[in-house]
Amino acid sequence: MAHKDVVNVGMIGCGFMGKTHSFGYRNVNPIWDPPVKAVMKCITGSRSRETCQAAAQSYGWQDYEADWQDMLQRDDIDLVDIGTPNFLHHEQALAAVEAGKDILCEKPLAMTLAEARQMTQAAEEAGVKAMCGFTYRQAPAVRLARQIIEAGEVGEVYHWRAVYLQDWIIDPEFPLVWRLDADTCGSGSLGDLAAHLIDMALLLVGDIAEVSAVLETFVKERPLVAAGGGTGLVDKRAAGQKGQVKVDDAALCCCRFANGAVGTFEATRFAQGHKNGHRWEINGSKGSLAWSLEDMNYLEFYKAGEGNRQGFRKILATEGDTPGWEAWWPAGHIIGYGELFINEIYEMLCAIAEDRQPAPSFRDGLKCQAVLDAFTQSARSKQWVPVPPC
């Protein structure tokens, strides 16, 4: 796909991810001046032709298709971006591979480990570039954390602790929207939130050996909503009635990593006061690192051995040589959530130009899926469950 100056993008998804990914494509060229330029060729993904057309106009796509399968058949599409609900990833990604397209697929990669494995194998065998959208890896502060770890400044890792705290469904009258629907999403806080934490852990600590997890649903029934919420599904549910909540409100876990470190995970939508509270910390023999998504421009770094001057440094990760910051503003002029998509797409374009897999790849998505699967099994069996190698 990379033997051209441009990459023609076809976006599947007109909802929240359609909006954020469009923000990414619209700005990646002027900000990063990538080796191949993104062209916002076509958007599709919603049930209605009108919605697709409106999305194209609003978000700045040249064209639209009412049916995503039509878009995949077009020769003028190089990269397919899948920003749809989880249950559609498998089918759409396989179809994109089949059509020979490069792929950027939102996380979690799939509904099941089997699906994720099939998608990864298909993409790798076809030799297409396949990225899994763990966007938070692209924060400069996270990339700086990785740089510090790789330089050995954290030493041997002993501890990982990570939480992803939100509070948007505490009200029991909050309806059973598609994000709470097991058929659409497969899980609740697990795939939506814990998946991000797991990807971070795999990136920064390494493979997880085994887990002991809890999945909890605090509110067992919620009001049904009539509409399908942009999922592309015909909704058979009736408003005014209640439906059973089959996904988790919260996911907790203790784990052991392959390298001997131990860790904890917690993801929940029931933590009052936390809007997007993704936080993690690593403790090693030589230092510690901590990061919070709500303060994403900062990295906290503790370096042992500085005597009575030692303390966590609050690094504003906006220096000219902070990885992932190079093209941004002068130091101290922070970036936000939307900019992470710009960075993510820049990584994808570089991978295409350099004929390599992007980071994170489908295989990274698969590794995360294996841990999600182990969480689920462990929560059901109340046993420690090993994570299979991927």
In 10 A of CB 300, how many CB atoms?
18
Nearer to a copy of itself, 277 or 358 (CB): 277
Position 133 contacts a copy of itself (CB under 8 A): no
Nearer to a copy of itself, 6 or 238 (CB): 6
How far is C-alpha 255 from the chain's CA centre?
A: 21
DSSP-derived secondary structure for 253-277? EEEEETTS-EEEEEEES--TT-SSE
Phi, psi of 167 (to 5 degrees): -145, 25
The three-class DSSP label of residue 63 is strand
Binds a copy of itself by CB under 8 A, chosen from 67, 258, 310, 354: 310
Measured N-to-C along each axis, helices 86-98 and 113-126 cross at an angle, to the nearest 10 degrees, of: 20
Binds a copy of itself by CB under 8 A, chosen from 36, 93, 131, 144: 144
Position 136 contacts a copy of itself (CB under 8 A): no
Binds a copy of itself by CB under 8 A, chosen from 313, 356, 380, 388: 313
Nearer to a copy of itself, 94 or 170 (CB): 170
Position 119 contacts a copy of itself (CB under 8 A): no
Position 377 contacts a copy of itself (CB under 8 A): no
Smallest distance from a copy of itself to CB 286, Å:
7
Nearer to a copy of itself, 31 or 94 (CB): 31
In 10 A of CB 256, how many CB atoms?
17
Binds a copy of itself by CB under 8 A, chosen from 101, 274, 363, 367: 274
CA distances 152 to 145, 147, 309, 347, Å, are 11, 9, 21, 24
Asked if 160 and 282 count as a contact pair (C-beta separation under 8 A), the reply is: yes
Position 53 contacts a copy of itself (CB under 8 A): no
Position 258 contacts a copy of itself (CB under 8 A): no
Subset of residues 185 to 214 that bind a copy of itself, contact rule: CB under 8 A: 212-214
Subset of residues 319 to 358 that bind a copy of itself, contact rule: CB under 8 A: 319, 321-322, 329-339
Smallest distance from a copy of itself to CB 198, Å:
16
Residue whose C-alpha is closest to residue 106's, from 43, 16, 36: 16
Position 174 contacts a copy of itself (CB under 8 A): no
Burial class (CB in 10 A: 0-12, 13-18, 19+), 312: middle
Count, residues near a copy of itself per rule CB under 8 A: 97
